Amino acid sequence: MSPEIPAKKRIVQFDESIKQSLQNFTAIHGQVVVHVNFISNDWQYSGIRIWPSTYLIAHESDHKSKILNVVNINWYPTYMQLKGPVTPFTLIFEGLPKSCTQFDLVEEIPQAGGFEYLNIKRNQSDIYHIELS
């Protein structure tokens, strides 16, 4: 098992052209982009995948934004081997209601261990960077 990586050393850089392209896309289409750094201390023996039942859930309403596309992660049921202690991937969702100021990312699955990141404060760009483990 590898030692835990300090938070200051876990920064993963995304290609600037991809960042700019996604920023333009979200501005035009009203979609939400979530860049994820998945942290794992036993990455050599682990895999991840994302279920299509992953949503952004607005706090102020019953609205759920569906996941539309993914980059650098496999869809359920196929696991993807982790690439290192930090594995970056990107999730693209339908837009949130204009009135939304805070939301949760929730992977609703019929087993334990779904991705969950709560209380994300909405920003003007609708592009977010989070860490999951």
**What average pLDDT does range 13-29 have in this prediction?**
63
Q: Report the alpha-carbon distance of residue 1 to residue 12 in Å, rounded.
A: 21
What is the three-class DSSP state of 126?
A: coil
Q: What predicted TM-score, i.e. pTM, was given to this entire model? A: 0.80
Query: What is the per-residue pLDDT across 31-42, written as a single tens digit (0 to 9) for each?
Result: 999 999 999 999
The pLDDT value recorded for residue 29 is 60
What tokens appear for 91 in the block?
A: 């999730």
Mean pLDDT, range 79-96, rounded to an integer: 96
* Closest of 39, 16, 21, 23 to residue 89, by C-alpha: 39
The CA-based diameter of the chain, rounded to the nearest angstrom, is 45
Give the mean pLDDT of 81-85. Answer: 93
Q: Mean pLDDT across the stretch 117-130?
A: 97
